[in-house]
Amino acid sequence: MYQWNKDIWTSLRDRVDRLPHAVLVQGPEGVGKLALAEQLAARLLCEAPTATSDSCGRCDGCRWVASGNHPDLRRLEPEALAKTGTVSEDPEREERGARRAKPSNEIRIDQVRDLADFLYLGSHRGRRRVAIVHPAEAMNVHAANALLKGLEEPPAGAMFVLVSHHPARLLPTIRSRCVVVSVPRPDETAALAWLESEGLKQDGGRWLAFCGGAPRLAQQYASGERSAKLAPVLEALGRNAPGAIPEATDREGLEAIAEVLQKHAIDRVVTLLADRTVYGTVRPAAAGEGSALAWVAFAREMGRARSLARHPVNPRLFSAELISKFHELY
């Protein structure tokens, strides 16, 4: 549990036995919502809670949760986010599947149907059965409607824990059937202290700003492959040389270019109107170039480009077009 979420957890823990069948943990990406949901699941499945009503960490239930093998806990996630795969009983089918497109970024209806089969079974350990849906807005419309049926008529002992970065994208009928737990961004001091404890001392502030104050996201960006994709784009902007932005060679690189350009455009707007920056991508010497309306329009276009980057487009041609439009506006 992250330090900045402890008060939220205490409030949630103190009413854990009075919670209804559905909880929606919502807030910006990268602030520890999933960790909070997992802590709630561990507490619900703990077989010997402590005097303060935390999970004990020692019983069979806690050990199974920690190992990811608890029979009464399921995670509903897009294939692209799934932590573990399953061994196919049909090698030929597995080989055919390997030739398909990349794993889906959506939660599909067949996943929700499988979840329903799990929830309507009796508990293996005589406690609740818990389903974590993350991120909930990744459900396509058919999956969302299927989940809604379970929320409207929940099986006895079932608990839904939905985690959402963008709760407005959920069906209003889903949101209305959940107790909402909001997780805000932590203050900058706490976030930087945590990043430093994770080994991110020199660039912690820069990545924290780029990620909008979300420390978990800043850690992921700084330590993962994402950093290598973002670095040349940020370096070109830092040198005030948009023409030096390299074209993308894959979808990840394309999405990185679109993200940086979108955040840069937003920074331009905020700097022009409020003399400050949000994501730290604007040099003061270049802050006054262009009009706010033009940068707003470009930011919206880059938002659409970030979505399109996940589809089968030509990364090199598409990125060249984005860079060309940015260079004209710059």
Estimate the share of the chain in helix, then strand, then coil, as percent rounded to the nearest 5: 55, 10, 40
CATH topology of domain 3-182: Rossmann fold (3.40.50)
pLDDT in tens, 47-104: 998 878 889 999 999 999 999 999 999 999 998 887 543 333 344 444 444 445 577 8
| Calpha distance 46→41 (Å, rounded) | 8
Residues pairing with 130 in the sheet: 73, 159
pLDDT(291) > 60: yes
Which one is predicted more confidently, 212 or 3? 212
pLDDT in tens, 107-160: 999 999 999 888 887 777 767 899 999 999 999 999 999 999 999 998 888 999
Scanning 68-187, the segments in alpha helix (DSSP H) are: 91-98, 109-119, 141-152, 172-175
Across 152-175, average pLDDT: 94
pLDDT in tens, 20-48: 999 999 999 999 999 999 999 999 999 99
Q: What pLDDT is stored for residue 84 in this prediction?
A: 40
Whole-structure pTM value: 0.84
pLDDT(162) > 70: yes
* DSSP state, residue 107: B
Q: What pLDDT is stored for residue 101 in this prediction?
A: 56
228, 312 Cβ separation under 8 angstroms: no
